[in-house]
Structure 1
């Protein structure tokens, strides 16, 4: 179900410790504008005239007493308040969609193949729990997971949905940034503790690192941590993330890994005592069929919900 088809309701939200009531028409107009990136595109998506849509967005800003968009040339850029509100309204819209499907009994009728593209590490360690719940929610949906460390071309239908770490730049694609995920350099406890003291970045030139695919690119990432390393420090690797991570588990070298994956392995510990984690974004991307394909919408929403729950607060 696309956003434009949700029923009209009064929504009560808490902002700045005050309860404010506004019409879903206005919230819907704001959300579609935020996702489409312009008033003209949002008006086409909702079947409204641009002046009507503009009035609805302006009315919402007036009701809330905040500015939701900054007008830059012909583009609309969400303000900080707009970003926060978009997350809340999107969550309400997703919830409304699920309630509607459950009430009509259609949640059990959603069926068909959906191909999801992601890295093999995420597929192996984060997706199983998420897909187990999806099987209960939509048993008629068949999911095929395409494991790749490259960016699948959704426009060529290599996949219906992709989990990426970079924002796509093509207008035919719909992308939702879920969150930022922390990552750091890890090693097997047996390897790290054999030095008898905490490792520091000064030790890096004498350590071995595991390569995942492109060693030159990996050296760039490691140097971003402040490590003075070269490709000579990468003496073992594999284009398979699962295999490379197994090398780390076996104590053959250190590697960069997302905290939420490393936390699943008690034999793995952060390698350096003086290096802070970095963050990388998690994007959920699909093509515009999200608005017309019920099965893709169900899987997209479920993946978003599951990946948000996977967030760690501490390691």
Structure 2
């Protein structure tokens, strides 16, 4: 095929890409400074040109079709190439530049990644980082993120993963709260303690994990629950009950202490994950390798429980 005979409107491709990244036609139109009908026509024109549907339009919004998922990385690469061309023309070219989306738990995103992102930006000034701070698992196959930091090993064949470290978490409470419990503090006395929970679905897994370590904990001992692990930790620091946190973070917090010294109640692993195809992308590969370098052997930085 002679590339000189191909006709392709970059404006249509850009309309598609920005719609994917913004999540809706309305937000994409605002980002591009155009009307929603104009943007919609450009996306429809691209679908007509390619002969495939790129989005499924339903009551839950716009979802990428399998064809759209396959196309989006190619269009994103075109956008990166356009950015690189612009940088070259202005004398600001950097070999590693463009958008990178990293998904991590709330605790990881709040307490570990900011310093690493600073170092990453020093090494690669052209990188634009988008950080998803959520305990929910991002779907890498649907390109919800380029790279994910997870506390379990992925099983999908389409994904590649690198184990970074073993992780550990323990139980913490304020000294005042611990003094209110039967002394000395022991596994048996914790049967009378109040725990800070997550939500009803996660408390079941949390209770099972604690019971596997010799505690006898029931749902009735969770008087306060929070969907956010960061809120969970703040409730713990306010003395409302016993909370859980990775040991590196918990041991460094002056307002709390381990409930049982030198005792961990959760052990697991931390993995760095990316889609196999994205590892062929120079930008993603560079950031992946950077995170491996910085996080390998860094114990205790993943959140528990994993959702």
State yes or no: 1:307 paired with 2:307.
no
**Worse-superposed segment, 126-135 or 287-296:** 287-296
2:213 aligned residue: 225
Corresponding position: 1:283 with 2:271: yes
When the two chains are superposed, the root-mean-square deviation of aligned CA atoms in Å is 2.1
CA distance in 2, matches of 1:178, 1:293: 21
Q: Out of 90, 96, 104, which is 1:118 matched to?
A: 104
Contact 2:168–2:264 (8 Å) recurs in 1: no
Which residue, out of 178, 181, 186, partners 2:164? 178
1:79-121, CA deviations, whole angstroms, 9 ceiling, x for partnerless residues? xxxxxxxxxxxxxxxxxxxxxxxxxxx9943111111111111
Q: Which residue matches 1:267?
A: 255
Give the match's secondary structure for 1:253: coil
Map Cα deviations across residues 201-238 of structure 1 (whole Å, 9 max, x no partner). 00121101111232111111111221101111111111
Runs of 5+ consecutive residues of structure 1 not aligned to the other structure: 1-105
**Structure 1 contact 177–281 (Cα < 8 Å) conserved:** yes
What corresponds to 1:257 in structure 2? 245
Tell whether the 8 Å contact from 2:165 to 2:297 is kept in structure 1 after alignment: no
Cα distance in structure 2, aligned partners of 1:294 and 1:188: 47
Question: Aligned partners of 1:204 and 1:131: how far apart in 2?
Answer: 39
Tell me the residue number matched to 1:159: 145
Question: Residues 4-41 of structure 1, C-alpha deviation per residue, up to 9 Å, x if partnerless?
Answer: xxxxxxxxxxxxxxxxxxxxxxxxxxxxxxxxxxxxxx
Say whether 1:244 aligns with 2:239.
Answer: no
- State the distance in 1 between where 2:297 and 2:157 align: 28
TM-score, with normalisation over the residues of structure 2?
0.63
Q: TM-score, normalised by structure 1?
A: 0.61
Mapped pair 1:143 → 2:129 = yes
Tell me which structure has the larger Cα radius of gyration.
2
Contact kept? 1:176, 1:285, Cα under 8 Å = yes
Distance 2:171 2:184 in 1: 13
8 Å CA contact 2:103–2:134 kept in 1: the answer is: yes
Poorly superposed stretches of 4+, deviation over 6 Å: none
Q: Which runs of 5+ in 2 are unaligned?
A: 1-91, 301-307
* Residues 181 and 192 in structure 2, CA contact (< 8 A), matched pair in contact too: no
Deviation track 1:182-209 (CA, whole Å, cap 9, x = no partner) reads 2111112332244484411001211011
Partners of 1:274 and 1:265 lie apart in 2 by 16
- Secondary structure at the aligned position of 1:181 is classed as strand
